[in-house]
Amino acid sequence: MQKEVLILAIESSCDDTSAAIICNDKILANITATQKIHEQYGGVVPELASRDHQKNIIPVIDAALKKAGVNLSQINGIAFTRGPGLMGSLLVGASVAKSLSLSLDIPLIEVNHMQGHILAHFIKENDLQKIPSFPFLCLTISGGHTQLVKVKDYLDFELLGETTDDAVGEAFDKAAKILGLGYPGGPQIDKLAQQGDYTKFKFAESKVDELNFSFSGIKTSFLYFVQNHTQKNIRFVDENLNDICASYQKHLVSVLMKKLLKAAEQTGIKDVAIAGGVSANSEVRKQIEKAGKENNWNVFIPKLEYCTDNAAMIAVTAYYKYLKNDFCKLDVAPMVRMKI
Ligand code: KG4
Ligand code: ZN
C-alpha cells in the first residue's frame, strides 16, 4: 500500500490567491480569493495584486487547512508557483512557502504554472474518470500564454508552438475593454456571445508559421473595426453587442482550432486536451468536442474550477514531483518567464 502524501500548495502568480491541500492525487481543499480591485482598472495592476496577496495568503491557507480537516503538522511538503507570472505576486507565495518549509522542516517544491494548468487533468475525482495517455497534446490557453504542448510524461513536456505576441486571453480581455465591458472580459464576451449571431461580422486572420499563433494583429483590427463603425453610427456597439461578441469569439476559437488540428495531424496523437483560463470558454469546449468526434480523438476538458488559476493544479504537479524527490533549496527565486 502506497504511503499517503499530504501537500499544501500555494498559487499566487497573477491576481488570484489560492491554497490547496492534496492527499496523493485527490484534492481535499482548493480555496481561491479572487481580487476584485482590478475590475475598476480594466486589467491587473501588479502593485495592487502583490498587496492583496499579502492580505489574503494566510486566511486562504487557514481556510484550506480547515476545509481539508488537516493540521500543518501532518503536511509532508510545501509547494508554490515559481513562475511564470508577476514578480511581486510570485514573491508572496514563494516567501510564505519557504517560511513554512523551514519552520516545519519539510521539503519545498517549486512548480511551473504552465505545467500545473496541464496536470490539472490528473486531479483524481473518482475511479471511473478518464485521464489522458502519454503522449498527449494540450492546447494551453490563458491570459498570459497560448501554447501547444506535447506531454510525454507527467513532468516531460515539449513545446510545439506558442504565441509570438499576445495571448488569446488578452485578445478576449482587450476586446472586452474596447466594448466597455468589465475585467476579466473573457467570461463576459462568452456570456453575451450566447445570444448573438456569429456570422454577422468577419475579422482578419494573422498568418503565422507552423504551430505558432499571433493575436496582436487581430486585437488591433478589432479596435479599428469598432472605431470605424462607431464613426458612422454612435450606437453601433450597443445595437450589435451580442453579434460582435459572438463573431469575435468564433474567430478567435477558429484560429486556435486550426492549429490544434494541424498539431494533431502532424504528430498523429489522438489524446487531445485543453487547459488554462480560456478553456472555460463555451465555444472552445464545444469546438474541441466537435473536432474530437470528427477526428476520433479522446478529448479532455478540465472541470471549470480547474481552468482558471487555482492551487489544486499546483498541488497535483507537486505530488508527481514529490514522488521523484524533486525538491528545491530555500534559495530558489521566482521567475517572471519560465520555459515549460
Ligand atoms: O489561466 P488564467 O486564470 O490566468 C492566467 O494564467 O493568465 O486565465 C485567465 C484568462 C483571462 O484572460 C480570462 O478572460 C480568460 O482566461 N477566461 C475566459 C473565460 N474564462 C476565463 N476567456 C474566454 N471565455 C471564458 N469563459
Ligand atoms: Zn494561469
Q: What is the pLDDT of residues 65-74, one digit of tens each?
A: 999 999 999 9
**Residue 50 and residue 52: Cα distance in Å, rounded?**
5
* 113 in the same domain as 36: yes
**Using CA positions, which residue lies closest to atom 7 of ligand 1?**
143
Residues pairing with 298 in the sheet: 271
**Residue 146 and residue 165: Cα distance in Å, rounded?**
10
Please count the other Cβ atoms lying within 10 Å of the Cβ belonging to residue 14. 25
CA of 183 to the centre of ligand 2 (A): 16
Assigned domain for 329 exists: no
* 319 in the same domain as 268: no
pLDDT digits (tens, 9 = 90+) for 4-20: 999 999 999 999 999 99
**Residue 165 and residue 214: Cα distance in Å, rounded?**
6
Assigned domain for 340 exists: no
**Residue 55 and residue 75: Cα distance in Å, rounded?**
23
The model's pTM is 0.96
Assigned domain for 315 exists: yes
pLDDT digits (tens, 9 = 90+) for 201-213: 999 888 899 999 9
Comparing 59-63, 95-99, 182-186, 211-215, which segment has the lowest mean pLDDT? Answer: 182-186
Decide whether any atom of ligand 1 lies within 6 Å of the 308 Cβ: yes
Decide whether any atom of ligand 1 lies within 6 Å of the 302 Cβ: no
Q: Is the pLDDT of residue 338 over 90?
A: yes
Domains contained in the chain, number: 2
**Cβ-proximal residues to 239 (8 Å cutoff; 6+ apart), any chain:** 233
* 278 in the same domain as 319: no
* 160 in the same domain as 31: no
Assigned domain for 336 exists: no
The DSSP call for residue 2 is P
* 297 in the same domain as 263: yes
* 118 in the same domain as 80: yes
pLDDT digits (tens, 9 = 90+) for 307-328: 999 999 999 999 999 999 999 9
Assigned domain for 328 exists: no
Three-state DSSP state, 276? coil
* 289 in the same domain as 310: no
* Residue of 115, 162, 251, 278 to mutate, ligand 1, most atoms within 8 A of C-beta: 278
CATH value at residue 197: 3.30.420.40
* 190 in the same domain as 279: yes
* 266 in the same domain as 187: yes
Assigned domain for 338 exists: no
Assigned domain for 334 exists: no
CA of 77 to the centre of ligand 2 (A): 22
* Residue of 114, 142, 168, 305 to mutate, ligand 1, most atoms within 8 A of C-beta: 142
- List the one residue out of 294, 301, 243 whose CA is nearest residue 272: 301
Amino acid identity of residue 97, one-letter, is: A
* 315 in the same domain as 281: no
Q: Is the pLDDT of residue 2 over 90?
A: no
Average pLDDT over residues 213-242: 97
* 148 in the same domain as 229: yes
Decide whether any atom of ligand 1 lies within 6 Å of the 253 Cβ: no
Decide whether any atom of ligand 1 lies within 6 Å of the 278 Cβ: yes
Domain that holds residue 246: 136-302
Average pLDDT over residues 166-170: 96
* 201 in the same domain as 147: yes
**Residue 249 and residue 281: Cα distance in Å, rounded?**
9
Please count the other Cβ atoms lying within 10 Å of the Cβ belonging to residue 81. 32
**Cβ-proximal residues to 220 (8 Å cutoff; 6+ apart), any chain:** none
Torsion angle of C-alpha atoms 149, 86, 184, 47, degrees rounded to 10: 180
pLDDT for 207: 87
> Would you state the cell numbers that stand for residue 281, as one nine-digit string?
470558454
Assigned domain for 196 exists: yes
**Cβ-proximal residues to 332 (8 Å cutoff; 6+ apart), any chain:** 82, 94, 98, 108, 110
